[in-house]
């Protein structure tokens, strides 16, 4: 048998490191290819890592709490294979070293931040914890490291902090609960901290403008009711409104590519692919946005299956990191919660996001050749928030009008295939 190393796989173009949360197997365990062996956290998602080989795990090379670089070995495995497969497009160790050096230089160049000593390297995570906990350079240099090449890990510095009887536990996975009189103070979990940070950043980056339109959804509602049962029988999936809404947005993006863009400095990037993010509420109350890549390539039935699959796996924490990357436009179906309308915040670096309100029966004026009538129609409010740096009111308004027209003129005789 050959002894090879399992590498930390790529998790997307913008992710260069992750935090090791928990080993899912023990040393000495027999595993098959794609068996889940490790749980990790990035700044986007908690996910599980599968084994790249079949064999026996002989040694862990990273510990729980360590920050592991993408492309670096995480464990050793004895296997019948003599070849370590390098995945296509995987960055070299030099690429990751250069990125880590750049990240480190950015951190130590900031005022009041600690740095690596002449003989010791500290990860950006450790330096950030040290800064927040007011740990001096001398104290940091004296912490015994248990990581690779005796580097200080997150657990090492947290143990040091706890040994000083510091009541605050930085980055603790278990919420810190305090009671002040009858008030209860609960520390944000990691995901809520990320959401909070990104929402504030988005409002600071993009001058948000939100426009609203009321859509008559009667044709769409009637068609869905007519086809709902047969769809379940044929595709073994529920047909929700979400894939229909996504199809409407995709159609509008094709007509108005100036919405499917990103801003980079003083340049506007027109994205070739249409990748639709869809907001999913998690059982914890947090929000996550999986992405349907090249959504314009899907039929409506394929979209329905994809939407249900992503939503289910999102709620069960089973998404892959790449399924959260690369979105070019996002939708959120706030009508699920009975909301009439909202002013959603843009997912950077996108320039627009659309919220769909609850569909409800409303009295409406119906125009006929014989005159106007008063009737009951299924109405929904659509709101479109856009980045006013690059999208003016005319384009922002025409885009939401295009989505509205698509839904109002939905073909009630449509047949799915």
In terms of phi and psi (left: phi > 0; alpha: psi -120 to 50; beta: otherwise), the region of 240 is beta
CA–CA dist 119, 114 (Å, integer): 14
User: CA-to-CA distance for 350 and 260, rounded, in angstroms?
Assistant: 8
Q: Which of 159, 392, 405, 411 is catalytic?
A: 392
Rg of the chain, C-alpha, whole Å: 25
Q: 317 by DSSP, 3-state: which?
A: coil
Q: Which structure tokens are listed for 166?
A: 């510091």
388 tagged catalytic: yes
Would you call the peptide bond into 349 cis, given omega within 30 degrees of 0 as the criterion? Answer: yes
Distances (CA, A) of 270 to 125, 259, 263, 273, 385: 34, 9, 9, 9, 18
Other beta carbons within 10 Å of 367 = 8
**List 156, 388, 405, 411, catalytic entry:** 388
β-pair type (208-216, 371-387):
antiparallel
CA dihedral (102, 104, 110, 111) positive or negative: negative
Written in H, E and C, the secondary structure of 246-269 is HHHHHHHHHHCHHHCEEEECCEEE
Element (H, E) at 209: strand 208-216
Backbone CA torsion sign across 66, 70, 76, 77: positive
Q: Using CA atoms, how far apart are residues 322 and 125, in angstroms rounded to an integer? A: 23
Which residue from 359, 360, 349 is spatially nearest to 390, judged by alpha carbons? 349
Q: Does the active-site annotation cover 141? A: no
Whole-angstrom CA distances from 302 to 19, 64, 182, 237, 409 are 35, 39, 51, 10, 21
Q: For the packed helices 218-235 and 393-408, what is the interaxial angle rounded to 10 degrees?
A: 60
What dihedral angle (degrees, nearest 10) is formed by the CA atoms of 395, 398, 402, 405?
Answer: 170
262, 15, 22, 119: CA torsion to nearest 10: -140
Which residues are tagged catalytic? 388, 392
């Amino acid at each position: 048998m050959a002894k090879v190393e399992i590498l930390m796989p790529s998790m997307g173009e913008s992710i260069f490191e992750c935090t090791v949360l928990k080993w899912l197997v023990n040393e000495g365990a027999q595993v098959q290819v794609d068996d889940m062996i490790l749980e990790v956290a990035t700044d986007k998602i908690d996910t599980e890592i599968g084994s790249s080989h079949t064999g026996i795990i002989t040694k862990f090379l990273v510990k729980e709490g360590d920050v592991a670089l993408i492309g670096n070995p995480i464990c050793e495995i004895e296997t019948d294979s003599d070849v370590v497969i390098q995945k296509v497009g995987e960055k070299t160790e030099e690429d990751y070293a250069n990125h880590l050096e750049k990240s480190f230089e950015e951190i130590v160049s900031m005022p009041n931040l600690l740095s690596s000593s002449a003989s010791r390297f500290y990860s950006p995570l450790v330096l950030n914890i040290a800064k927040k906990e007011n740990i001096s350079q001398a104290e940091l240099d004296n912490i015994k490291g248990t990581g690779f090449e005796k580097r200080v890990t997150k657990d090492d510095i947290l143990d040091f902090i706890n040994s000083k009887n510091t009541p605050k536990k930085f980055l603790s996975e278990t919420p810190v609960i305090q009671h002040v009189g009858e008030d209860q103070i609960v520390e944000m979990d990691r995901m809520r901290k990320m959401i909070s940070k990104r929402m504030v950043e988005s409002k600071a980056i993009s001058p948000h403008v939100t426009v609203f339109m009321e859509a008559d959804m009667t044709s769409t509602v009637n068609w869905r009711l007519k086809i709902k049962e047969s769809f379940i029988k044929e595709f073994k999936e529920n047909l929700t409104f979400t894939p229909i809404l996504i199809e409407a947005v995709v159609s509008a993006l094709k007509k108005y590519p100036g919405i499917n863009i990103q801003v980079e400095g003083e340049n506007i990037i027109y994205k070739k692919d249409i990748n639709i993010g869809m907001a999913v509420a998690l059982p914890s109350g947090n929000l996550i946005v999986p992405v349907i890549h090249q959504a314009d390539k899907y039929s409506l039935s394929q979209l329905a299956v994809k939407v249900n699959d992503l939503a289910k796996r999102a709620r069960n924490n089973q998404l892959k990191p790449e399924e959260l990357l690369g979105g070019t436009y996002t939708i959120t179906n706030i009508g699920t919660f009975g909301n009439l309308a909202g002013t959603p915040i843009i997912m950077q670096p996108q320039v627009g996001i659309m919220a769909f309100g609850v569909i409800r029966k409303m009295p409406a004026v119906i125009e006929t050749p014989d005159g106007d009538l008063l009737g009951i129609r299924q109405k929904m409010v659509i709101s479109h928030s856009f980045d006013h740096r690059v999208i003016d009111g005319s384009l922002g308004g025409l885009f939401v009008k295009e989505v509205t027209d698509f839904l109002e003129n939905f073909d009630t005789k449509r047949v799915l295939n």
